[in-house]
Structure 1
């Protein structure tokens, strides 16, 4: 079956990742706060990262004690009419992946299509992070591309795997898994606006046939195709039947999955990028991984070494995991270009 979509590929600028935005962090759901004793010695040795706009470096001294409301979990269905998902959308490309032009999504949401109001709140507060309200999913952060590069370098195989893109934002990690012939790929983001306006359209754009990627409703090409395009689309629209999309905070999404009447198999792979910027979230993240990862599964987590503003980072999270004594961890790659970043692999201690 052939599909035609009225969307455009923006080639007016370089299609490389917009790294100037990456001193902020990707989304991560809020959970009931638990006091976390910060390891002062570890934190003191962690390398610097850029501060978040609208935050104070001195906030690093202690995790926030403020409590936030739970955000209920919701599953988002793929619309039957895929043409509506991509109608009049402008897409950008990187590494043969298609994704929504974020600035235009934000402009559209300011016109009243954002039911959560996260864009207007972000603009009014001059921040890409409002804890418990908006957790940064309208941006793509550089660690996402670090992890994508690592998949290729380490020859990570997705074939026949069940995969969760946790704190997915644009969903590029899950889309890479889908293109790698994963059996199932689930996407989770804190905000429903992110899933509806960004994640779902990105998944659709990467699953349609190549011929429809640059086609308009009247069959005319709307722009010159990217210079580096696959000769043949690796995914067909029916790949979307292998996808599910969820919004809500981690514990709520876990509960929804585990209590659902639909068959649920724990994940072989959980992929997550820049979700450990705030130590207040570590307990929720750890519990989610324990509940949803298969006994022989793997977690691949990408992070900056340290985040100013809320004080999280790879070594602090590593210590947290070590203290819980459930997972074994390994730093499998360190990136020294720009702000120091790391890729961590996690597995249950009793796994094979």
Structure 2
């Protein structure tokens, strides 16, 4: 059943979330990142099992110097003044009691204009959801995203009044979980500005408007106009900041900004270690931005085929740096093995 407002909510007749089309919804990283990396993917429209990432072949043709020279300047994204336009003409779907916009609709809109980076047209023309240094897969929701969300609930991770970073956020679902957990501040970062503007920010707005369980929604249908709950949006969005750009550039922007900045109590990141070439930048970013007693929760495949990264390789890399202590706190053996890693400074309490 679909409900039409300025936007849509897609639900089936039982008001249970539809399983997204496996060719469109990817979780936590790009679809092609999965296809050659062994990532399971969900598009903003579907959930799928692991498969290799198409973009990997192109990546392997590049030299290390070419791969490492791809930097995207950091930018902070302002929240639009007119929030009514953020979800205009969008279709909203649900998964794990979270709302996210239907990516195929956004793709069609952006192909008609509005994608200044051109990442959607480039992704379509190259048949790849990963173009190193151009597009790093944030338009898809990857499988490990939901692994991390499940773990945060199972482990009863407390977000109340914490400062949280959703690093490599894509759809921003793990950061939204932190917001629901009453985090004091939640910052979202993705490589691509298009992802922040067209995906992350609308998802934060949607989840701020529609809260509660699926059972609640069975009792009363969504109103024809934006509900009064929308009045709370400024309060929710006041907790949020949105950034695009390469990790080291974003770190520099945060640390050199005139705006007040306190290091993060919790950093959440999913399927960001598929490429070993990025390990140094990721490690240094975590070291620079994490509070001395903070924690990192990282979700990953055990191994990403075609690219070579994976949880155990990153664990070894981190151990050699002797900055963090690491612990694999959960393993998921369904399909390709997936893991949740906790990281903390070696001298932390």
Q: TM-score, normalised by structure 1?
A: 0.83
Tell me: CA distance 1:157–1:85, structure 2 relative to 1, closer, same or farther (3 Å): same
Q: CA RMSD in A?
A: 2.9
Task: State the distance in 2 between where 1:156 and 1:235 align.
Answer: 28
Q: How many equivalent residue pairs?
A: 315
- Listed as ranges, the matches of 1:80-229 within 5 Å are 80-208=81-209, 214-217=222-225
Aligned equivalents of 1:175 and 1:239: distance in 2? 10
Identify the residue that residue 37 of structure 2 maps to in structure 1.
none
Contact 2:59–2:131 under 8 Å retained in 1? no
Verify the 8 A CA contact 1:10 1:90 in the aligned structure 2: yes
Question: 2-side partners of 1:22 and 1:82: how far apart?
Answer: 25
Which residue matches 2:232? 236
- Work out whether residues 207 and 235 of structure 1, in 8 Å CA contact, stay in contact via their aligned partners in 2: no
How far 1:24 sits from its partner (Å)? 8.3
Which whole-Å deviations, capped at 9, do the CAs of 1:297-333 have from their partners, x for residues lacking one? Answer: 0000000011122110000000000000000000000
Alignment of 1:47-62 (within 5 A): 50-56=51-57, 59=60
1:249 aligns with 2:246: yes
CA 1:264/1:181 → structure 2, altered by over 3 Å: closer, same or farther?
A: same
Q: Structure 1 pair 209/130, CA: closer, same or farther in 2 (3 Å)?
A: closer
Going from structure 1 to structure 2, the CA distance change for 1:214 and 1:308 (only over 3 Å counts) comes to: same
Gaps of 5+ in 2: 31-49, 212-216
Which secondary structure does the structure 1 equivalent of 2:268 belong to? Answer: strand
Q: Is the 8 A contact 2:54 2:130 kept in 1?
A: no
Distance in 1, Cα, partners of 2:268 & 2:316: 20
Which stretch shows the higher mean deviation, 6-15 or 86-95? Answer: 6-15
Task: Give the counterpart of 2:18 among 15, 18, 33.
Answer: 15
Contact 2:301 2:336 in 1 (8 A): yes
Q: Which runs of 5+ in 1 are unaligned?
A: 28-48, 222-231
Provide TM-score, normalisation by structure 2.
0.83
How far the C-alpha of 1:15 sits from its partner, in A, is: 2.7
User: How many angstroms apart in 2 are the aligned matches of 1:118 and 1:159?
Assistant: 36
Contact 1:269 1:299 in 2 (8 A): yes
SS at match of 2:71: coil
The structure-2 alpha-carbon separation of the partners of 1:19 and 1:146, relative to structure 1 and needing over 3 Å to count, comes to farther
